[in-house]
Structures are given as C-alpha cells and as structure tokens.
C-alpha cells in the first residue's frame, strides 16, 4: 500500500481521497493487496471521517488551528502532542524530555523491584515449603518406624495418596 499526501490538486474531481488499484487493460484487478491512496490537501472537506481529521491536522498553520481539531483518533492525538512538544522552546523542551526520561526510569525501576520481590518471594516460599514438607515426611517416617510399619514407610515414599492418608492417621499437619 502507498499513501501520497499532496499539497496540490492532482485531479479535477471534488473528492479529496482516492483509492487506486492495479488493473489490466480488460479491467481485471491484479490484486486487492496493492492500493495507492492519494490525499489532496487543497480540496474542500466534506465530512468528519478519519481522513478528514488527518487533512485538518496536515493543514494546520497556527496553534489555534491545532486546538480546533476535535477527534478521538489516537494517532492524531499522539501527533498533536508530539507537534506541541517539538514546538516548545529549547530549554522547555529539554526540561520536558528530562522529566519524561525520569518518569520512564522510575517506572522501569519500580517494575524491576516488583519483579525481583516476586521472584524472591517465590524462592523463599519454595524453600520454606520444602523444609516444612521434609519435616512432615521425617515425622511420619519416624513414627511409622517406631510402630514397626516398615512397608508403610516404603509406601509413603512412593505413593502420594497413601502418604496423605498416613498423615491424617497420625494427625500430622
């Protein structure tokens, strides 16, 4: 796809946005994947669509014109913000860029600290879980051996369901 934004009138037609596709001499369209959009900025606007909003943006001559653009198009809103930022005096623009950098850096630091905290919490949780689990199993094995239940020791080591049943039987939490 190609987009041509012209600061002159290419055609005599009143339409300011034309879409052109490739066709052979018999009118057979080559493909619908190739289009050329031509936008003629000098022609009179007739609507309130996205193309109209972009034409209004490209035709801005003063800051008042910029303020008059009413749109919800996020691309145009971002372009307006960027144009305003670029239009700032050098010291103000430098201060603004430093401020934006500080905000990005702070967010990155906070995200890093949050991610590291979560990772450390998971590591500690796993370590404590293993320690508690090992203590439970050790208590179960000790009590089974005291009772002479050697087959149940082997069963508890291999079968999770049997181990849970034995924990309940011995009241090990």
Q: Phi and psi (nearest 5°) for 48?
A: -125, 25
Tokens of 84: 């305003």
pLDDT in tens, 64-112: 777 777 777 788 788 878 877 777 777 777 777 888 899 999 999 999 9
pLDDT at 145 over 80: yes
Whole-angstrom distance, CA of residue 23 vs CA of residue 9: 24
User: What pLDDT, on the 0 to 100 scale, is given for residue 105?
Assistant: 93
pTM over 0.85: no
Average pLDDT over residues 5-29: 89
Long-range contacts, 20-24 (Cβ 8 Å, 24+):
none
Burial class (CB in 10 A: 0-12, 13-18, 19+), 140: buried
User: What pLDDT, on the 0 to 100 scale, is given for residue 129?
Assistant: 62
């Amino acid at each position: 796809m190609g987009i041509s934004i012209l600061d002159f009138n290419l055609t005599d037609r009143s339409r300011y946005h034309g879409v052109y596709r490739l066709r052979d001499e018999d009118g057979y369209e080559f493909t619908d994947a190739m289009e050329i959009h031509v936008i003629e900025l000098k022609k009179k606007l007739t609507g309130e669509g996205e193309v109209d909003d972009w034409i209004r943006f490209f035709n801005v001559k003063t800051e008042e014109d910029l303020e008059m653009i009413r749109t919800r198009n996020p691309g145009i809103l971002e372009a307006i913000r960027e144009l305003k930022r670029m239009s700032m005096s050098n010291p103000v623009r430098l201060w603004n860029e430093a401020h934006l950098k500080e905000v990005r850096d702070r967010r990155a630091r906070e995200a890093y600290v949050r991610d590291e905290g979560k990772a450390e919490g998971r590591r500690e949780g796993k370590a404590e879980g293993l320690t508690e689990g090992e203590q439970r199993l050790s208590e179960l094995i000790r009590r089974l051996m005291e009772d002479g239940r050697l087959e149940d020791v082997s069963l508890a080591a291999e079968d999770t369901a049997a181990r849970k049943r034995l924990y309940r039987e011995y009241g090990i939490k």
